[in-house]
Amino acid sequence: MKEENIVLGIKINKKKMLVNFISLSLVQGMIIFVGLFNLLKTYLMLNNIEIIFISMIVFIVAEIFFLSLSGSSEYLEIKNKKLGYYRTNSGLKGVFQLLKTNNSADNIFLLDMEHISLIKISYVKTTGGWAQNGYAIQLTFLLTDHSQFTIVPTTMNAIEDGTYKAFIDYIEQCGITVIDKYNICSLLSGNVDSFNTYIKELERGMKHD
């Protein structure tokens, strides 16, 4: 079997943190900086240089916390024929760990593929920005010792970039049973919109049964 390295979920490293920091700064930086500058200028008896310095420090600290929190997630990684389950640290702990090791995640456990009996694919409802409702894929793993764990990878981009399909294809190549009650695997070559539409129609059908 061909060696695979598949990451399902958000795995933050220094490069991604820098890209996110720059993109967030371009979108939000000017608004936050100007607003904070005007607020400090109104209520504090400081000169412009001091206000600019304070505004920059507060903005950078806030961005670091936000980026670390936004990267907080659980993800799966297939590497060297093993399945790793990782949880990303948030807050300053995650930032310092990321800067030190280029990885802000702790390894929850590492499994040989033969220790997985089957995987169930399902879905859960999610709420995004501006109270937008959607759905996410949920994976439940039943292990050979009869224990199990469930994870909802934190990014739906994995559908559009083919990661979900590659993940499931590899699992099946390992001879692991995949239980797909809602026929979600048929959507793994599509996009998020088609996935959400399919699940909405599925739930409407369930209500009418």
- Taking the C-alpha atoms of residue 160 and residue 102, their distance in angstroms, rounded to an integer, is 26
Q: What is the pLDDT of residue 128?
A: 58
Phi and psi, residue 184, nearest 5°: -70, -30
* Mean pLDDT value of segment 155-174: 85
Q: What is the pLDDT of residue 41?
A: 76
Q: What is the pLDDT of residue 130?
A: 43
Q: What is the pLDDT of residue 17?
A: 57
Look at 25 and 131; give whichever has higher pLDDT. 25
Question: How confident is residue 131, by pLDDT bands cut at 50, 70 and 90?
Answer: very low
Percent of the chain scoring above 90 in pLDDT:
26
137 forms beta bridges with: 123
198 pLDDT higher than 70: yes
* Mean pLDDT value of segment 16-37: 64
Task: Name the pairing type of β-strands 82-88 and 74-79.
Answer: antiparallel
The per-residue pLDDT for range 167-176, each reduced to its tens digit, is 999 999 999 9
Q: Which of 31, 54, 30, 56 is nearest to 43 (CA)?
A: 54
Range from 50-54, 169-173, 176-180, 205-209 carrying the lowest mean pLDDT: 205-209
158 pLDDT higher than 50: yes
Threshold 0.75, pTM exceeds: no
The per-residue pLDDT for range 55-92, each reduced to its tens digit, is 778 777 766 666 555 545 678 889 888 998 887 665 55
* Structure tokens, 18: 């820098």
114 pLDDT higher than 60: yes
**CA neighbours closer than 13 Å in the CB half-sphere of residue 128:** 9
15 pLDDT higher than 50: yes
Q: What is the pLDDT of residue 84?
A: 86
In the DSSP assignment, the letter for residue 45 is -
- Taking the C-alpha atoms of residue 9 and residue 139, their distance in angstroms, rounded to an integer, is 12
Q: What is the mean pLDDT of the chain?
A: 77
Q: What is the pLDDT of residue 189?
A: 83
- Taking the C-alpha atoms of residue 136 and residue 60, their distance in angstroms, rounded to an integer, is 32
Look at 129 and 109; give whichever has higher pLDDT. 109
